[in-house]
Amino acid sequence: MKRVPPPDGSKAPASERAIRRMMSAFERAALFQEDGTEFWLGRDLAYLLRYQDIRNFLLVVDKAKTACRNSGIQPENHFVDVTEMVVIGSGAKRPIEDLKLSRYACYLIAQNADARKQPVAFAQTYFAVQTQLQEASAEEAPNADLQRISLRREISTHNKRLASAAKTAGVIQPLDYAVFQNAGYKGLYGGLDRNGIQTYKGLGKTANILDHMGSTELAANLFRATQAEEKLRRDGIRGKEAANRAHFDVGKKVRQTIRELGGDMPENLPVEEDIKTVERRLAKKRGPRKLDKPS
């Protein structure tokens, strides 16, 4: 099987051409089962995410499996061990161990990978946003519910990490943190703060906006949260104003990426059923589409 070379990620993709080139690299690496379900091989994904040492990549895979299990989804349905025959120098073939990864598995791997790597940062958005474009049919509604719940839980976890990073930067008081959070929302939502989003979407004043977001919108906010935390820690940002500016800039950059991908702006995405209601019927829903296991 021909390996996919790593995308040229030496610089952050600032243009639509660069973003489309990176999208193409992920899409060309996709393979398909007989039923049409797409998947990626672990070694191909490791190349794309710039993991030269496969052992480091497998550590990320282990974290992704844990996140999958914690979301109430069986990892073995999305991380499948396979044996691949590869050609060696003499023209003979030898078997190597590999992984067959679903789109959901790739998303979890990207979320648990080193976000300082430019291809990883892009993959976090790519696999989250593209999943909804691929699974928008009515028969996939249970999958959308499960993915939405998983994303909502991920945001809860990462918001705690973001709050910790903001506190280190000097955002101490609850009111200051509310201003800090609104800065991120304003960047991502074209100037709308939390109250503005509620009003624009027709939600009540007591509604939690995150609980009424679909998977695409949740993914955008998760990307904002993870990258804002990383920026605060990596750049050693100090002071409330500097932290607010950094959060706004990250939100604005995510909005720009969505625009360049041709996606809908988050404020224009539909309001979804309260996530708590969805969770109550989760036990009756089937999990995300499973991968075939080798016979």
Instruction: Please report, for the chain, the start and end positions of each structural domain, with discontinuous segments joined by +.
Output: 16-111, 135-284
| pLDDT tens digits along 50-90 | 899 989 999 999 999 999 888 888 899 899 998 877 676 66
Is the whole model's pTM more than 0.85, yes or no? no
What is residue 129's predicted lDDT score, i.e. its pLDDT?
A: 65
Indicate the pLDDT class of residue 41, thresholds 50, 70 and 90. very high
| pLDDT tens digits along 120-159 | 877 877 776 665 555 444 344 456 787 888 888 889 888 9
What is residue 292's predicted lDDT score, i.e. its pLDDT?
A: 60
* HSE-up of residue 269 (Cα within 13 Å, Cβ side): 26
Average pLDDT over residues 266-282: 86
What is residue 288's predicted lDDT score, i.e. its pLDDT?
A: 53
- Return the closest-CA partner of residue 169 out of 94, 234, 98, 213: 234
Would you list the DSSP string of the chain?
-PPPPPP--SS---SHHHHHHHHHHHHHH-EE-TTS-EEEEHHHHHHHTT--SHHHHHHHHHHHHHHHHHTT--GGGTEEEEEEEEE-TTS-EEEEEEEEE-HHHHHHHHHHS-TTSHHHHHHHHHHHHHHHHHS-SGGGHHHHHHHHHHHHHHHHHHHHHHHHHHHHHT--SHHHHHHHHHHHHHHHTTT--HHHHHHHHT--TT--GGGG--HHHHHHHHHHHHHHHHHHHHTT--SHHHHHHHHHHHHHHHHHHHHHHTPPPGGGSPP---HHHHHHTGGGS--SPPPPPP-
As a whole-number percent, the residues of the chain with pLDDT over 70 amount to 80
Mean pLDDT check: name the lowest of 2-11, 113-122, 178-187.
Answer: 2-11
Residues facing 38 on adjacent strands: 32
Average pLDDT over residues 42-52: 91
| pLDDT tens digits along 182-239 | 999 999 999 999 999 999 999 988 899 999 999 899 999 999 999 999 999 999 999 9
How many Å apart are CA 187 and CA 193, to the nearest integer? 9
Average pLDDT over residues 22-37: 78
Would you list the DSSP string of 66-94?
HHHHHTT--GGGTEEEEEEEEE-TTS-EE
39: left (phi over 0), alpha (psi -120 to 50) or beta: beta
Indicate the pLDDT class of residue 26, thresholds 50, 70 and 90. confident
Indicate the pLDDT class of residue 17, thresholds 50, 70 and 90. low
Average pLDDT over residues 88-116: 84
The answer, yes or no, to whether residue 6 has pLDDT greater than 70, is no
What is residue 101's predicted lDDT score, i.e. its pLDDT?
A: 92
- What sign does the dihedral 114-116-121-122 (CA atoms) show? negative
What is residue 32's predicted lDDT score, i.e. its pLDDT?
A: 85
Range 263-266, long-range pairs (CB < 8 A, 24+ positions): 263/129, 263/216, 264/216, 265/189, 265/190, 266/188, 266/189, 266/217, 266/220, 266/221
Indicate the pLDDT class of residue 116, thresholds 50, 70 and 90. confident
- Residue 147 CB coordination number (10 Å): 27
Indicate the pLDDT class of residue 12, thresholds 50, 70 and 90. very low
- Return the closest-CA partner of residue 254 out of 215, 219, 208: 219
What is residue 195's predicted lDDT score, i.e. its pLDDT?
A: 95
Choice between 240 and 35, residue whose per-residue pLDDT is larger: 240
